[in-house]
Amino acid sequence: MTFDPSHAARSFSSVGTRPIRPDGVDKVTGRARYGADFNMPGQLIGRILRSPHAHAVIRKIDTSKAEQFPGVKAVVTAADLPDLTDGDTSMYDILDNCMARNKALYDGHAVAAVAAIDARTAKQALKLIDVEYELLPHVTDVDQAFAADAPLINETIFTTGVDPKPDRASNVSMRSQFGHGDVDAGMAEADFVVARTFKTEQTHQGYIEPHACVANVSSDGTADLWVCTQGHFVYRQHCAQLLGLEASRLRVTSSEIGGGFGGKTHVWAEPVALALSRKAGRPVKLVMTRDEVFRATGPTSATSIDVKIGAMKDGTIIAADATLRYSCGPYAGSWAEVGAMTAFACYKLENVRTVGYEVLVNRPKTAAYRAPSAPMAAFAVESAIDELAKKVGMDAVDFRIKNAAQEGTKASYGPVYGPIGIGPTLEAVKNHPHMKASLGKNQGRGMACGFWFNFGGQTCTDLNIGMDGTVSLAVGTVDVGGSRASLSLVAAEELGIDYAQVRAVIADTSSLGYNDMTDGSRGTFSSSMATISAARNAIKILRARAAQMWDIPVEDVTWEKGHAVAKGETHGNLPNLSLKEIAAASGTTGGPIAGHSEIVADGAGVSFATHICDIEVDPETGATKVLRYTVVQDAGKAVHPTYVEGQYQGGAAQGIGWALNEEYIYGKDGRLQNAGFLDYRIPVCSDLPMIDTQILEIPNPNHPYGVRGVGETSIVPPLAAVANAVSNAVGVRMQHIPMSPPRILAALEA
């Protein structure tokens, strides 16, 4: 389905309105069921024993005392999760991450698990498991791990992406390179050059709801899993493969979700819960503690990035170069690759080169986090761009406008752009009242741009019309940000009925065809395409039923504003039939009326944003207060503008926390020092101003309404926007995120 240009000027009836969310009452009254709210009769409580060591060989695990402890019904180790991955290295890494096999690779790595009659018994039993470790040298810093003499984490890792293949193993799992032109020649021509190295520390997605599930494996070989996830179909596939189950015999039901941001796109404890249930023969509930969430799930990469950009006197960027080192935890990843692709994506560049290196460290396996890898690259590049604009003597916004990518520009990662919104977001920022507001003492203003790809993917949707004319929409993309409301609006728009007549639900894995997970800003993009398709299929049936009722050819029936309309001179006197009237007669015109759709929603449009940030730094304490913040972003078409604004604000809030306070702190022993929200400080309401938003709508030509994904791009610019603001306030270029008070004081005193 391609974009119908007439929609650009079309007046939508439902799309673009702001009805209240269908899940709102349940959430504010506490009725909504999150992962930990599900219980089963006879369920056991599962708990996981985790390595206290950053890197150690597991010599022996003795579970005999725990197994004999009263109330314990099952104990599992890696022996209960045999390797069924058949040479699939990425699945093997998932398996090993869920339960360590030969080595503990980070502080918090699971080594055994217990199911008992209650949490206290399970906790006591964990203490009875005797694990014999042989400690190995560890490395947790990305630059130290990159060094040739670093402790080796995985002796089977040989750097890919280089020719010839290295003759010895290292902690660098992959090298990626992107770009075009002659960077060295361009740099030699430049009148001005900025070259700096930037660092960002590891952060967690910081979702409020911890990972939780209830697993029930029956003796007949069927199984159920109730779980908090961003993708229950993907969880089914992974769990089925790791447990040796047939996918169709494992039904996975997703709960409401208290935040995911990419961290709930990976299985962690779910295969362990299923293994415990299989062994105990009873349901097992497993809820992670906050300490476990920090130590064993999430985090994003820590990075170290070299950037060099050259410009001519007229402000044209002549060459851009970046080398990006991203930590990926103790398993091979592809995080630097994404950073290398996104780093210069906002700009029109004749000569550009980015090289990314994946670096293994003894930290938890890196997971996706909202536009994964892009914020760190943007921090480095947008900081250098700001500095270069000053050197050239141009305003930061004008410099970016002069060099912004546009339709027809060859992107730094390769392809040529179609219609894109970076230029319009910059023009909107240039003219925004925020940019003209005055600043006081110790205050600074910064701005920055950001890019994200957005994805579509496999999607399946059912639209069922009840005999009373109401519509039930079953979708398979988990609602993490309000997609049930947005998809109900889309169904109402297509059918020509009121939003209140549509109820969207998230179907379980046994009720609908496969759906990719809700990631890549794809939930509303892809499921709205499937919903439009399903609604149009349902309309075909509605027209056929009306034709039956009128006894006229279906070709003479059209669908207009929720009604079947008879066309032609001979039928013109027939009164229109409403959807409700056709549905009421469905029992005698052929039975239930439904529309179904299964699609691959490729063609997601890329997305750009530009942010403005005002801050004030206390020169005595180094503390930074965000005074004002504005997000301008292209949404393609905002289906439910309130939710779009919420995505913009949420991404900005998370980015501000990343910029100013959030970081994993490891001790010399390789253990995480701040595994809790008291010591790992995410922003709270009192830390933030009201975040202003401006939605731009540059239609995506590959979506029937022009929709683009909006969920991720908003976290890309904040690190750089805040850093530019702080740098402008203190007069020192900030190169290390987070800009916590000690780092700002150190910069001031340097």
Partner 1 sequence: MVEVTLWGALAAAAEGNSKVEVEAKNIRELFKKLSERFPGLTPLMDRGIAVAIDGTIYRDTWSKELPAGAEIYLLPRLAGG
Least gap, CB of 109 to partner 1 (angstroms): 22
Residue from the set 24, 166, 414, 568 that interacts with partner 1 by CB under 8 A:
414
595 to 634: interface string for partner 1, x by CB under 8 A: -----x-xxx------------------------------
Residues 648, 666 contacting (CB under 8 angstroms) = no
Among 93, 96, 337, 462, binds partner 1 (CB under 8 A): 337
Closest contact distance (angstroms) between CB of 88 and partner 1 is 9
- Closer residue to partner 1, CB minimum distance, 450 or 456: 456
Note whether 703 and 3 are within 8 A (CB).
yes
Question: Binding partner 1 by CB under 8 A: which of 68, 90, 248, 511?
Answer: 90
Nearer to partner 1 among residue 63 and residue 237 (C-beta): 237
Answer whether 22's CB lies under 8 Å from 500's CB.
no
In the complex, least distance from residue 713 CB atom to partner 1, rounded to whole angstroms? 11
Please give the span between the terminal C-alpha atoms of the chain, in angstroms, as a whole number: 58
Is 453 among the residues that bind partner 1 (CB under 8 A)? yes
Strand order of the sheet with strand 284-287?
72-76, 110-116, 44-50, 284-287, 212-217, 223-227, 250-254
Q: Which stretch binds partner 1 (CB under 8 A): 53-61, 362-370, 442-450, 667-675?
A: 362-370
- Which residue matches tokens 């141009």? 394
Q: Is 64 helix (H, G, I), strand (E, B) or coil?
A: helix
Q: How far apart are CA 266 and CA 236, in angstroms?
A: 11
Q: Which residues pair with 324 in a beta bridge?
A: 305, 356
How far apart, in whole angstroms, are the C-alpha atoms of residue 609 and residue 736?
23
Task: Determine, following the binding rule CB under 8 A, whether residue 479 of this chain makes contact with partner 1.
Answer: no
Longest dimension (CA), the chain: 89
**Residue 162 interacts with partner 1 (CB under 8 A): yes or no:** yes
Task: Please state the closest distance from residue 107 (CB atom) to partner 1, in A.
Answer: 24
Q: Does 368 bind partner 1 (CB under 8 A)?
A: yes
Identified binder of partner 1 from the candidate list 371, 566, 583, 737, rule CB under 8 A: 371
Enter the DSSP assignment of 630: E
Residue with Cβ nearer partner 1 (126 or 340)? 340
Q: Can you tell me the distance from the alpha carbon of 78 to that of 110, in angstroms, rounded to the nearest whole number?
A: 9
- Quick note: the x/- pattern for partner 1 over 12-31, rule CB under 8 A, is --------------------
State which of positions 163-192 bind partner 1 (CB under 8 A). Answer: 163, 174-178
Q: What count of Cα atoms within 13 Å lies in the side-chain half-sphere of residue 68?
A: 5
- Give the separation between CA 126 and CA 50, rounded to whole angstroms: 9
Interface characters, 426-445, with partner 1 (x: CB under 8 A): --------------------
**Cα–Cα distance for residue pair 365/105, rounded to 1 Å:** 9
Counting Cβ atoms within 10 Å, is residue 725 exposed (0-12), middle (13-18) or buried (19+)? buried
Whichever of 415 and 591 has its CB closer to partner 1, that residue is 415
| Site stretch for partner 1 (CB under 8 A), options 236-244, 409-417, 573-581, 670-678 | 409-417
- Distance (Å, rounded) from C-alpha 609 to C-alpha 423? 10
Is residue 54 part of the contact set for partner 1 (CB under 8 A)?
Answer: no
Smallest distance, partner 1 to C-beta of residue 655, A: 13
Stretch that binds partner 1, among 112-120, 464-472, 517-525, 667-675 (CB under 8 A): 517-525
Residue 417 interacts with partner 1 (CB under 8 A)? yes
DSSP per-residue letters across 706-738: -----SSGGGSSHHHHHHHHHHHHHTS---EES
- Residues 260 to 319: which contact partner 1 by CB under 8 A? 261-263, 265
Contact 110, 99 (CB under 8 A): yes
Q: Quote the least distance from Cβ 480 to partner 1, whole Å.
A: 10
CA 97/CA 231 separation, integer angstroms: 19
379-398: which residues touch partner 1 (CB under 8 A)? none
Q: Which is nearer to partner 1, 192 or 658 (CB)?
A: 658
Residue 192: how many CB atoms within 10 A of its CB? 19
Minimum Å distance from CB 177 to partner 1?
3
Cβ neighbours, 10 Å, residue 318: 22
Q: Does 705 bind partner 1 (CB under 8 A)?
A: no
Decide: is 203 part of the binding site for partner 1 (CB under 8 A).
no
What is the C-alpha to C-alpha distance for residues 420 and 68, in angstroms, rounded to an integer?
Answer: 64
536 vs 99: CA distance, rounded Å:
47
Burial 534-546 (b: 16+ CB within 10 A, else e): bbbebbebbbbbb
Q: Determine if 500 is a binding residue for partner 1 (CB under 8 A).
A: no
Least gap, CB of 743 to partner 1 (angstroms): 26
Least distance (Å) between residue 705 CB and partner 1: 17
Instruction: Give the interface with partner 1 as residue ranges (CB under 8 A).
Output: 90, 160-163, 174-178, 205, 261-263, 265, 334, 337-338, 341, 355, 367-372, 411, 413-418, 452-458, 519-522, 600, 602-604, 702, 712
